[in-house]
Amino acid sequence: MLSAVSIKEWCINRDRFEEVRFHGQPVRNISTTLTQGRNRMCSIELQDGTRIEDMSIDEALEAEAVGDVKAESVTVYGAQIAVLLVVEMIEHGAAVTCEPLPNNAYAISVKPEAYNLLRRACDTLALPSPEECKGKLVVVLASCGNPDFRQYAPVSTPRMQIVGTLAEAQQVCSEYIADNELGAGNWAGGQVMRDGEVVAYVAYNGSVWDKMPGEEGGRRIKV
């Protein structure tokens, strides 16, 4: 969504904007210089190479640019977690997009003003932040309905948990399955990831594998 912003706002927060236009022309850069008379002047460089020199700061600040505000996003794992976050954002009136990524990951994106709301939703689901997950093992805990028992929705609250080892991931999955009384047809978690890459999978029976179910060449990992 295009929104009107001041040149000053763009100078301070330019990383938030994908594109800024000055009087309809795309802007490449804005710089300021201090004259000998201690007056600060502004230069605007347009994408076509045109430069607007010796503009006073007051003139620049009074002018309006149009910026396409970047979205802020979080990456989560598992379709159920992604759906829960999307529904939560919609219920709060926030515009939200969900982009599927490799390894059963999803990028949930909102405008910067709704990012705190998104983070609070993640905290409610006990989802660790990307900073907390960096370089660590993270296991997905989730369920799905079993149509054989007329279940058509998840039967537990999904979450992700940081673990230290595959053995700990195995234990956490077993506890989650037991605590939520999940059957084999309900188990939808078990993906163990590091920095967005699936490195192992914990099956319903507690066995640990190096590939997801259905992938060829999978071998069991001794933990």
CA distance 212 to 144: 17
> 142 CB contacts (<8 Å, ≥6 apart)?
78, 80, 81, 154, 156, 158, 159, 188, 189
CA distance 210 to 200: 4
Query: Residues 19, 92: one domain?
Result: no
Domain count, the chain: 3
**Residue 53: predicted pLDDT:** 79
Do residues 124 and 81 make contact, with C-beta atoms less than 8 angstroms apart? Answer: no
- Picking from 97, 127, 157, the residue at the C-terminal end of a domain is 127
CA distance 139 to 84: 18
Q: What does each of the 223 residues of the chain score in pLDDT, given as a tens digit? A: 334 455 555 555 555 556 677 777 777 777 766 665 556 677 778 888 888 877 776 665 555 555 555 678 888 877 778 888 888 888 888 888 888 887 667 889 888 788 889 888 888 777 777 778 889 999 989 888 877 777 666 788 888 899 999 999 999 999 999 999 999 888 989 999 888 788 999 999 999 999 877 778 889 999 8
Query: Residues 152, 212: one domain?
Result: yes
- Picking from 69, 93, 119, the residue at the C-terminal end of a domain is 69
**Residue 166: predicted pLDDT:** 96
Query: Residues 153, 190: one domain?
Result: yes
Query: Residues 78, 50: one domain?
Result: no
CB atoms within 10 A of CB 157: 16
Query: Residues 152, 199: one domain?
Result: yes
Query: Residues 149, 210: one domain?
Result: yes
- Picking from 127, 148, 175, the residue at the C-terminal end of a domain is 127
Amino acid at 104: N
> 47 CB contacts (<8 Å, ≥6 apart)?
25, 26, 27, 28
What DSSP character marks residue 122? H
163: containing domain: 128-223
CA distance 214 to 7: 53
Query: Residues 132, 113: one domain?
Result: no
Query: Residues 95, 27: one domain?
Result: no
Query: Residues 61, 90: one domain?
Result: no
Amino acid at 171: Q
CATH number at residue 116: 3.30.70.1530
